[in-house]
Amino acid sequence: MSTVDASRGAKPDADLLLCLAETAPGPDRVRLERQVVRLHKMMARDIARCYVPLGVEQGRATRLALAALLRAVRTYDHSIRLDFERYATSLIQLELSRSLQSR
């Protein structure tokens, strides 16, 4: 199974990649999920940076954001008709907000 090469210009659609991953066999599914994580890693880090002035340590914020991104990749359901970036952003913000509340 071939994957979309992000280095060739157009950004592959995370929704499409995750839709393909749903039916892909084990190794292909993992490869597609990793590709989605790579495509959105900077987004997660950018969101994490917003929580540093609020009191979350940078390293912890980044770890929480990346863990939430991975959870978003594994739990995303394309049938909910919400694009992946919005879904992932919500999960990342929720995780970081919980971290603030637990301090």
- pLDDT at residue 4 above 50? no
pLDDT for the residue numbered 57 = 95
Q: What is the mean pLDDT of the chain?
A: 87
Give 35-80 pLDDT, tens digit per residue.
999 999 999 999 999 999 999 999 999 999 999 999 999 999 888 8
Task: Dump the DSSP string for the chain.
Answer: -----GGGSSPPPHHHHHHHHHHS-HHHHHHHHHHHHHHHHHHHHHHHHHHTTTT--HHHHHHHHHHHHHHHHHH--GGG---HHHHHHHHHHHHHHHHHHT-
The answer on pLDDT for 11 being more than 80 is no
The CATH T-level fold of domain 12-101 is Four Helix Bundle (Hemerythrin (Met), subunit A) (1.20.120)
